[in-house]
Amino acid sequence: MVTQEYPVSVVCEVVECARSSYYHRPMVVAEQGLQQAIEAVAAAWPRYGYRRVTHQLRREGWTVNHKHVARIMRERGLQVHRKPKRRTTTDSRHAFPRYPNLVEQLEIVRPEQVWVSDVRRVGAYGIPVEDRRG
């Protein structure tokens, strides 16, 4: 019995698949071991995000993609919660004098006796903007 070898391109044409699919060898990653390694790194460094965790895993010998680490961390709830950025509204470190509060000791007896304003920042076109965030 004589066997004839066909080129890969002919076989792939008959089967209707790309040649790259024939040559593709998927990377086998121990998913459970990787998840445990990610959890261990996240427990050791709770402020590490997916980028730092990825680099730490690579230092430990894992061949892993940052997108894979991000997906696992998202699924496991291991994402780092960012502190909200606070907008700086006042620079109190200046050489200008601080004026006393003239209304603090004043006894208010009638409506519209005292008008008080607090402008913390000036918006576009020099229009004062009230800051209600507290």
Nearest Cα residue to 41 out of 60, 68, 24, 14: 60
The residues with which 129 forms a beta bridge, in sequence order, are: 121
Neighbours of 11 (CB within 10 A): 13
Cβ atoms within 10 Å of 80's Cβ, excluding its own: 15
pTM value? 0.48
pLDDT of residue 126: 60
Mean pLDDT by 10 residues, the chain (134 residues): 74 89 78 92 94 96 93 92 80 82 87 77 60 51
Give per-residue pLDDT as tens, 1-15. Answer: 555 677 888 888 888
